[in-house]
Structure 1
Amino acid sequence: MPENEYQLVDEKNLAAIKANVEVVKTVLAENLEVRLDLDEQSIEWLDGYVERNREFWEPEVKQQHTSILGSFLGEAIVKNYGGQWAYSEGSLGIDFGNDTFAFPFNKVAKHIENGAEDSIFSFYKTTSMVANGSIK
């Protein structure tokens, strides 16, 4: 797909995103006894999880976490703020209409690389204003 082309996510990729959400819930419940849902408290917990562990992750693990945590963050955004998964400018994100997007995978990757200055929790909270059109 050309970088400037817009396209909704197909059912296969949407199913993969939803499967990633279940991986996050299952693995953290089994290994850390943490129960997560697609809500603000869970995003706040994941923000701390990334901060506590990001420096110890090898590049491959960082990439895996970007994929699964980006899926979780994105699904929480869709559930709580609306929007739909779509590709825009070569990136997978959440389309709120009126040329407003949020890119959860990009934000997770930045948080993993840069730390708290690129907090996924802050992104999640700010995204509510993007979704309702308060900011672009």
Structure 2
Amino acid sequence: MDEQELQWIQANVELAIEQLGPLADAGFGLNRESVEWVEGFIERQRARPGFDPERVDGLVGVLGSFLGACVAAGAGGRWHCSDEGGWGVLLPDGSTAFPFTKVRKQLRDGVEGGESIASFYRVAVDFIATGGLREPGQG
């Protein structure tokens, strides 16, 4: 693992909490409610005049770091860099969630296009990490 990249991710998480926390309801942090608030924030950004979903790399970095940290905290996961997908959160069941990809998709397509970071969080934390999506009879 590249320690410098992990430090960049952590700095982005801190920036998200510092900048978005005062705009959100009380209790903004690494939790489900904050992910839901950030989903709305993304939708508000998409509605702004002149928004260009192809010019959002900085926003993807900050919000993807925050989403990944929330998933890691909620599921007991940890950051992991894979050869095929880049940085993601390794979940207790061995699968990997890719928050940067999901944030970029929501910025591009929006909730109305089927992309939701809140749903991504719920599925990763409540189902995948717990083995809840396994076929009956699988161990």
On whether the aligned pair clears a TM of 0.5, the verdict is yes
Which consecutive unaligned segments of at least 5 residues does structure 2 have? Answer: 135-139
Q: Which residue of 2 aligns with 1:119?
A: 116
Which of 63, 67, 74 is matched with 1:80 structurally?
A: 74
RMSD after superposition: 1.9
Mapped to 1, the partners of 2:24 and 2:124 lie a distance apart of 28
Report the counterpart of residue 137 of structure 2 in structure 1.
none
TM-score, normalised to structure 2's length? 0.81
The higher relative CO (CA closer than 8 Å, separation ≥ 6) is in 1
**In 2, distance between residues paired with 1:33 and 1:111?**
19
Per the alignment, do residues 133 and 111 of structure 1 end up closer, same or farther by CA in structure 2, a change over 3 Å counting? same
Give the secondary structure class of the aligned counterpart of 1:87.
strand
- Offset of residue 10 of structure 1: 2.8
Number of corresponding residues: 126
Deviations 1:58-79 (A, max 9, x none): 333x211111000000001111
Amino acid in the other structure paired with 2:129: A
Question: In the alignment, is the contact (CA less than 8 A) between 2:103 and 2:117 conserved in 1?
Answer: yes
Looking at secondary structure, tell me which structure has more helix per residue.
1
Identity across matched positions, percent: 37
Separation in 1 of the partners of 2:21 and 2:94?
A: 37
Following superposition, the deviation at residue 55 of structure 1 comes to 4.2
Cα drift, residue 90 of structure 1: 3.6
Partner of 1:101: 96
Instruction: Give me the TM-score of the superposition, normalised by structure 1.
Output: 0.82
1:28–1:34 Cα contact (<8 Å) kept = no
Q: Unmatched 5+ residue regions in structure 1? A: 1-8
Whichever residue aligns with residue 24 of structure 1, its letter is A
